[in-house]
Amino acid sequence: MTLPDDAPDGAPDSPAPQTPDDLPVVRLKPKSKPQAIRRGFPWVYADELVTDRRTKALAPGTIARLEDAERKPLARVAVNPKSKIIARVIDREGRGVPDHAWFVARLRRALAHRERLFDAPFYRLVHAEADGLPGVIVDRFGDIAVIQPNAAWADVLLQPLADALAEVTGVTTILKNAGGRGRSLEGLDAEDAVLLGEAPAAPVPVEMNGATYMADLTGGQKTGLFYDQRENQAFAARLARGQDMLDVFSHVGGFALAALANGATSALAVDGSAPALELAASGAAASGSADRFETRQGDAFSVLEALAEEDRRFGLVVCDPPAFAPAKPALEAGLRAYERVARLSAPRVAPGGYLVLCSCSHAADLAAFQGACLRGIGRAGRKAQLIHTGQAAPDHPLLPQLAESGYLKALVFRL
C-alpha cells in the first residue's frame, strides 16, 4: 500500500467541500428524457448532457446542479467529463451536498440495514448506487473497512468519506482499494492507500456459514472476500451433506469451505491462483476440515477435462467463474463460455446430484445466462431440474431502476 509523501498519518489532504450556493449547473439535451432521472435512474450518459466548454472544463468529481432542457431542477449530481457516465445522481431531492453530515447520514442508514441482517460486523456496508453512494463500495471486516472509490467524486472526497465511516462504525483501520475496474473507466489511478490505522500484516479470519475464511485485504482480489455469495453458499452447503463436492473457480474456497462446515464428505477446490488456494487451505485448517479438503491449481477448463479422464464424479459441483461478459460487446463470447462451463461440469455430477452455475456478468441477464447453461447441460447429455435461483446476498441491495446492480445470478440444478 502506498501513501502520498505529504499525507500526515496516512491521510491525504481533503478539498474544501462545495456548498449549495457555489454549485455549477449542467443541463440535459432537449432530446434527453428527464423522466428517467425523476423515476430513480442514477446515471446521465455523456451523449445526454450539454457538454459545452464550461462543462468540459469541470474537474472530475465536481458536484453540480442538474437541470432538464427547460431549466427545471432535477438533482444534485457528481460530474466527470472524462467518463461515459458523465453525471451520477447523489441527491435526488436536489438539496444536499456531500459534506460530513451528508456522509454520516448515508452511512448510518446503510449500517442500520446490515446490523439488522448480521450479528457480526462482516458484510458489505455500502453497495454503491443502491445505498445512495454511487460508485462506492465499502466492505467491512470487523474493525477494518475497505473502500473502493470507483467514481471520481468519491476519490476527490475520499478522506471526508473515511472520516465519517470511522465515526459511524468505530472501525480503527480504513484501506483504499484501487483495483476496481470502474476506476480505469473514470480515469482514476490504481494506487492503494491506508486512510486510517495500519494495514493488517496477515489475512483476516472471517466467520461465515459455519466456516472460517481467510481474507487478504491488501493483496487479494477485490476487497479481499466475496460477501455476495453468502446466501448461495449456504443453500449449496445443504445439498452437499454427506457428498463429495467440487468447487471450480473457487477463489478462497467460498462454496467448498461452507460445504465442509455443513457436512460434506470432501471438497476439491480448483482455481488458477496459487495464493487464493493457499488462503483456501488456511481457511480449511482454521475450520477444522483440512483432512477433507483438497486443492488443484490450473485452468478451470483444463482441470474439468482432466477430471473427466479420471472419471471423477461429485454429489455437488459448483462453478462460479469471473465475469465472462462484463459489458455488452463481450456478451456473445461470454455466453459461449458459460455454455462451455455447463457442458464440461455437468458430466462431473453424479446421478441425482446437483450443479450450481453462477454468473456475475452485468451484460448477461438471467434469461440469457439460463439459456446458455441449459444448452451446455443438454449438450453434455444430461437432464436437469431447476430447483433454485439465487442472487446477491441482502447486504448487496438491488436498485430496481439500475439493472447493473442485479449482476449476480446463481442457478441450482438437479441432474
Q: What is the DSSP string of 316-361?
A: EEEE----S-SSGGGHHHHHHHHHHHHHHHGGGEEEEEEEEEEE--
- Ramachandran quadrant class, 48 (left: phi over 0; alpha: psi -120 to 50; beta: rest): alpha
Dihedrals phi, psi of 95, to nearest 5 degrees: -120, -40
Model pLDDT, residue 182: 86
| Residue 358 falls in the annotated catalytic set | no
Q: Which of 113-117, 214-218, 384-388, 400-404 has the lowest mean pLDDT?
A: 400-404
Name the active-site residue from 319, 358, 360, 373. 360
Q: Which residues in 80-143 belong to E strands, given as ranges?
A: 85-91, 122-127, 136-141
The domain made up of 20-91 has a fold known as 2.30.130
Q: What confidence category does residue 22 fall into, taking pLDDT thresholds of 50, 70 and 90? A: confident
**CA distances (Å), 271 to each of 137, 297, 329, in order?**
25, 5, 26
Minimum mean pLDDT range among 156-165, 227-236, 297-306, 319-328: 319-328
Segments of the chain assigned to CATH 2.30.130.10: 20-91
Question: If you average pLDDT over residues 315-344, what whole number do you get?
Answer: 95
Looking at residue 15, what is its pLDDT? 55
For residue 194, the number of C-alpha atoms closer than 13 Å in the C-beta half-sphere is 18
Kindly report, as residue ranges, where domains of CATH 3.40.50.150 are found in the chain.
212-414
The span from the CA of 149 to the CA of 180, in Å, is: 8
Of 235, 227, 234, 211, give the one whose Cα is nearest residue 413: 235
Positions of CATH 3.30.750.80 in the chain: 8-14+98-196
The residue type of 54 is: R
Q: Could you report the per-residue pLDDT of 387-409, keeping only the tens digit for each?
A: 999 999 999 999 999 988 889 99
Model confidence over 86-101: pLDDT tens digits? 999 999 876 778 999 9
- Mean of pLDDT values over 215-244: 93
In terms of Cα–Cα distance, which of 323, 362, 405 is closest to 126? 405
**Local structure of 208: helix, strand or coil:** strand
* Residue 251 contacts residue 220 (beta carbons within 8 Å): no
- Asked if pLDDT for residue 294 goes beyond 60, the answer is yes
Quote the CA–CA distance of 367 and 247 in Å, as a whole number.
24
- Per-residue pLDDT at 372 exceeds 80: yes
Q: H/E element holding 194?
A: strand 193-196
Q: Residue 90: what are its φ and ψ, rounded to 5°?
A: -110, -20
The CATH superfamily assigned to 212-414 is: Vaccinia Virus protein VP39 (3.40.50.150)
Question: How many CB atoms neighbour CB 362 within 10 A?
Answer: 18
Cell digits of residue 336: 459461449
CA-nearest of 47, 24, 44, 27 to 36 is 44
Q: DSSP character for 399? A: -
Distance of alpha carbon 383 from alpha carbon 349, whole angstroms: 11
Distance of CA 181 to the CA centre of its chain: 11
Burial of 328 (0-12, 13-18, 19+ CB in 10 A): exposed
Mean pLDDT over 343-361 rounds to: 97
Find out if CATH 3.90.1200.10 is the number for domain 8-14+98-196: no
The CA-atom distances, in angstroms, between 121 and each of 113, 139, 150, 167, 225 are: 12, 10, 23, 15, 14
